[in-house]
Chain A
Amino acid sequence: QLQLQESGPGLETPSETLSLTCSVSGGSISSTSYYWGWIRQPPGKGLEWIGSVFYSGRTYYNPSLKSRVTISVDTAKNQFSLKLSSVTAADTAEYYCARGCYDSSGYEREFDPWGQGTLVTVSS
């Protein structure tokens, strides 16, 4: 059964770069059948897609964050990572990694499963 686990610092200083890693177990991150994504949720609020990375290395980012986001894959470690630069208090959120699924036509579909999430607080 595929499992995802986020890791990284729980506290970031304003203006610094947030770095998180998602470790994938029970399956290969190199599979062409799936893609991988980051989603975040500020405390008490809704879900915001940050970006996704595909087996080819192609990435798509939310335009609202694009200038600050980098998502990359490390196939040797079966991990993918998120970097978000110049963080502010508005970036305080639970950060989730998830596997993205395709439909039979190759279009993106749901995220399943998700990691348990990691809370990142931005504060001096």
Chain B
Amino acid sequence: GDSVTQMEGPVTLSEEAFLTINCTYTATGYPSLFWYVQYPGEGLQLLLKATKADDKGSNKGFEATYRKETTSFHLEKGSVQVSDSAVYFCALSDRNKFYFGSGTKLNVKP
């Protein structure tokens, strides 16, 4: 069945460091891929998405490219801020079903 695997956290970085959170997926069809972010005490918010292979989603300095050959959708940011501290979820949607990864907690220290 369809699934999403993302790197375990927590990930701890200093401000202005480069961020990568790995995400790989398994799907039988042609899924859409998403990154959601959950700030402490809040619900999830869509960060970015890509609906087909080679698409790049971007928002707030974050980027992720839909790589069909490696079944990956890694999240990157060139320079993280303390305010980026949150839990990040990779997700896929395939034939109207939605699957989330287990979440990766990011801690950014000043």
Is A bound to B?
A: no
